[in-house]
Structure 1
């Protein structure tokens, strides 16, 4: 890699973590490189910096664009496409969560609902577990959607309250809204 030592360490770490998060190591490294870069980079700069093939860079950029984590940026006087990450860290986190929800949570809910509709073919215990899991995931999804609607500043304030919110809930009482059935 043709990078300063701290950049190299960050990029290598992100590549390693990417493989644990279910993405290709190179995709994680490309993202990390773009994340740290003050300027938008073209595919040739990425290949040179990371020591990867042009096709690897192209495939990684395509995947990152599909996840909406990398943006195409036109550079005056340049014919090559340049790429960058959003500047707002909260936008990046929100995008990651939304994309993971679309790819992982939504299909799981669809499957659980379909299985629940076939309930007669399940034993009572299995059916109850599927219903319980669906309700829990729907509750978490509703919470996520409520948080996603919050302005970033309000979300940050809410997060800084942390466990103090549990104390408020204890003082208010044991009210629990009915979950969807």
Structure 2
């Protein structure tokens, strides 16, 4: 008896659930749903896909796929690859989850934190030279800039950690805080017993 394989464009349920969930999470993070779904499909597929295949599998317009692929390429989350015997472009996602997270974090920092630091520096510089701006306002600008710069520096340090160290750090979780001798003020306040 000969085995016949019927090719279907329908995604297996587990992959479909992942693609839908990744698209919804992307929207929460401010990323277009189609961009997130295409990224999810390429990440989970394990093989390069053409824009046409992506459009067929996700039931998206070809123009939407092209725009989304350009955005994913700009984030360095996917790459264009050649397939022997094919003239079309194919795409594959970064398979290393730590590298993927690192690239997302670096891009988010560049698009969100770095402009905030630049804006706060400009506001502080303008406020310090304007006699109509109260000293307390300058101090608030200074404090916000200090915190934002500290977050930016910490972000850079974490992003630059080698993957094995980053993986260990993530697995350690709250143990890192305890090891450093630090405690969360929120947790301390919640767990503090009322005075007797």
State the TM-score, normalizing by the size of structure 1. Answer: 0.88
Distance in 1, Cα, partners of 2:152 & 2:75: 19
Query: Which stretch of the first structure deviates more once superposed, 28-37 or 113-122?
Result: 113-122
Note if 1:138 corresponds to 2:149.
yes
Give SS of 2:30's match: coil
Give SS of 1:2's match: coil
Distance in 2, Cα, partners of 1:113 & 1:85: 37
Give SS of 1:150's match: coil
The alpha carbon displacement at 1:165 in A equals 2.4
What residue ranges of structure 1 are gaps of 5+ in the alignment?
A: 172-181
Counterparts in 2 of 1:98-109, with a 5 A limit?
98-109=106-117
Contact kept, 8 Å, 1:46 with 1:57, in 2: the verdict is yes
In structure 1, the partner of 2:43 is: 35
The alpha carbon displacement at 1:44 in A equals 0.6
Contact kept, 8 Å, 1:72 with 1:84, in 2: the verdict is yes
- CA deviation digits over 1:79-136, x for unaligned, max 9? 1100011111000000000000111111110000000001233323322222111111
Note if 1:74 corresponds to 2:85.
no
Contact kept, 8 Å, 1:26 with 1:60, in 2: the verdict is yes
The alpha carbon displacement at 1:13 in A equals 1.3
What residue ranges of structure 2 are gaps of 5+ in the alignment?
A: 1-8, 183-196
- CA deviation digits over 1:138-176, x for unaligned, max 9? 1111112222222110121222222222233229xxxxx
Distance in 2, Cα, partners of 1:2 & 1:18: 22
Given the superposition, is the C-alpha separation of residues 158 and 14 from structure 1 closer, same or farther in structure 2, using an over 3 Å criterion? closer
Q: CA RMSD in A?
A: 1.6
The alpha carbon displacement at 1:9 in A equals 1.2
Report how many residues are paired. 171
Contact kept, 8 Å, 1:2 with 1:48, in 2: the verdict is no
Given the superposition, is the C-alpha separation of residues 10 and 140 from structure 1 closer, same or farther in structure 2, using an over 3 Å criterion? same
